[in-house]
Structure formats: C-alpha cells, structure tokens
Amino acid sequence: MGFLLGAFGKLAAGRRYRQLQSQMMRVQSRLRRATRQAADMEKALQRQEKAMLNSISLTSTAGMMQAKNSLMSSIFGTGAAAELMKKMQGGEQLTTEENNNYSTYMAQYNQQISNMSAMNEMNVSMQKQQIEDYFEYMRESLLQPLKDEEDMLQTEKDSLESQVQIAQADYEACKKMEQTDAKNLAPSYTGAA
C-alpha cells in the first residue's frame, strides 16, 4: 500500500513542483520587466526634471544679463550720465560734482539691479518649485504603479519559492516511501520464510 501511495504521491508532487517552477519563471520574468521599467522610468523622470531645472537657471541668467545691459544703457546711454561714462572709460579725472553724480547714477543702477535680482530669484524659486511638484506628481502617477507591481510580484515570487520547497520536499518524501515499500514487495529468493 505504501508503494502505491509513494508512487502516486511522487507523480502528484512532481507535477505540482513543475507547475510551480513554471509559474515561478513567469513571475520572475514579469518581476525583472517591472524592475527594469521602474528604473527606466525613474531615470527618464530625473533627466527631464534636471533638464527643466537647468533650463530655468540658464534662462534666468541670460535674462538677468540682458536686464543689466538694458538698465546700464537706459541709465548711462544718454545725457549727462553718458558723458560721465565716456570720461570714466577714457581715464579722465572727474570733478567732485561729477563724482557725486556718477555715484548717484551707480547707486540708482545698483538698487534697481538688486530689486531685479530679488524678483528674479523669487520667480526662479517659484518655477523650480512648480517643476519639482510636477515631477513628484509624475512619480506618484507613473512610477508608483510600477513599484507597486514590483512589490506584488516580489511577494508572489517569495510565496512561490516557499511552495516550490514544500513540493520538492513532498516529492522526495514520496520517492523515499516508494523506494522503501518497493524493497518490501520484492520477492525473496533465499527460501527463508
């Protein structure tokens, strides 16, 4: 009786083991794909975010340079201020009154540049925050589902590994039972009863 139980148990356990192994291979393949997709998505989002942040910084720097040049032209481009600038650039000595006027123009220029820089920094900071918020949303909406699938597949894989070990142990136990009882069924040719 043990022989038959062992033989049928071995067949059933072997079939179960092979089914689990096949299922495990499919899950491992899906897990690798999900892991790769999540990593690729994360890299793509990081590249896009970095590119957008860099673009804002470059645009801001270029804009500030243009604004400074424009302001310099508007203050020192015409009239008395332009004459003072020509004298300064020509290396001429300025009178006390011209020095005072030049200092006034420079103070006006520096104050306006300071105000523009503060506004620019605030604007850039707000734009960068919007980009960071957007990419955080993108990570939650696009990347999180992939990570959730990856976690689910990892859990399924872990469960299957346990089931494979149990099926393998069952197979070995049934095989041993079959072999043990097969020895008991073998006819004795020694004539001893």
CA dihedral 94→97→99→100, nearest 10 degrees, is 180
Q: Where are the chain's structural domains? A: 2-183
Cα–Cα distance for residue pair 51/101, rounded to 1 Å: 45
Q: Which residue's structure tokens are 């139980």?
A: 5
Cα–Cα distance for residue pair 67/124, rounded to 1 Å: 15
Q: Is 49 left (phi over 0), alpha (psi -120 to 50) or beta?
A: alpha
Structure-block tokens of residue 164 = 């494979």
Question: How far is the CA of 97 from the CAs of 100, 102, 108, in angstroms?
Answer: 5, 8, 16
Average pLDDT (94-117) is 90
Total number of residues shown for the chain? 193
Angle, vertex CA 120, rays to CA 118 and CA 126, nearest 5 = 105
Residue 192 has pLDDT above 60, yes or no: no
Cα–Cα distance for residue pair 11/139, rounded to 1 Å: 48
Residue 187 has pLDDT above 70, yes or no: no
Residue 130 has pLDDT above 90, yes or no: yes
Dump pLDDT digits (tens) for 11-39. Answer: 888 899 999 999 999 999 999 999 999 99
